Amino acid sequence: MTAQGLLLVISGPSGAGKGTVCRVLMSRQPQVRYSVSATTRPPRTGEVEGVHYYFKTQEQFEAMIAQDKLIEWAKVYDNYYGTPKEPVMEALRSGRDIILEIDIQGAFQVKEKYPEGVYVFIAPPSLEELRRRIEGRATDATEVIAKRMKAAAGELDQAGKYDYIIVNDTVETAALKLEAIVTAEKCRASRLSSLKPY
């Protein structure tokens, strides 16, 4: 029996802690790969090309769109973000699990193409807590923070369209829940179709 790779799509408001929860999952489940997105957003302090993002100019990004090199793309807070197609296809072809940490517009585009993916929304415990976390990060300008807070309310309204919602009270419990979802999805009968009946 060959198990199929799991396409795991994670969304949630900026500051909800998606990145941290995903990193904990990957440290516990090393077979899970991370899809590195392309973006026109400038790098934040400490962000590394090819690790956190592929940083592109607008022209470069638009060329990727024109050449159909992205599974999905969206404009988020005035910048382009998109998922390079080939690494995702390669992971799934070779049975490896891959995480896409993308916004809701992108997640819905991927869901159209890959309904068999697993769609998880990571929510903050409250909007007040979200603001505290975004301000605490201190990497964004005040107007960017305001935009992110406004977007968060709209994103939370869409959470019910995902397969799972995890409220990120603590990273530890949120990561445990995500790991439980991955484990359960890998046991789903429809993913084990090549298993011969007893």
Q: Shortest gap between Cβ of 112 and ligand 5GP (angstroms)?
A: 13
Closest to 183 (Cα-Cα) out of 34, 33, 25? 25
Q: Binding residues for ligand 5GP, how many (CB under 6 A)? A: 14
Only one of the segments 75-83, 122-130, 174-182, 189-197 lies at the binding site for ligand 5GP (rule: CB under 6 A); that segment is: 75-83
Query: Cα 7–169–109 angle (5° rounding)?
Result: 30
Give whichever of 106 and 117 is closer to ligand 5GP, judged by the CB atom. Answer: 106
Q: Choose the stretch contacting ligand 5GP; rule: CB under 6 A; options: 81-89, 120-128, 164-172, 185-193.
A: 81-89
Confirm if 135 and 178 have CB atoms less than 8 A apart.
no
Among 63, 44, 2, smallest CA distance to 195 is for 2
> Is 5 or 80 the residue whose CB approaches ligand 5GP more closely?
80
Closest to 103 (Cα-Cα) out of 130, 76, 137: 76
Amino acid at 71: I
Chain positions 5 to 64 lying near ligand 5GP, rule: CB under 6 A, are: 14, 37, 41
- Residues of this chain that interact with ligand 5GP (CB under 6 A) are 14, 37, 41, 72, 74, 76, 81-83, 101-103, 105-106
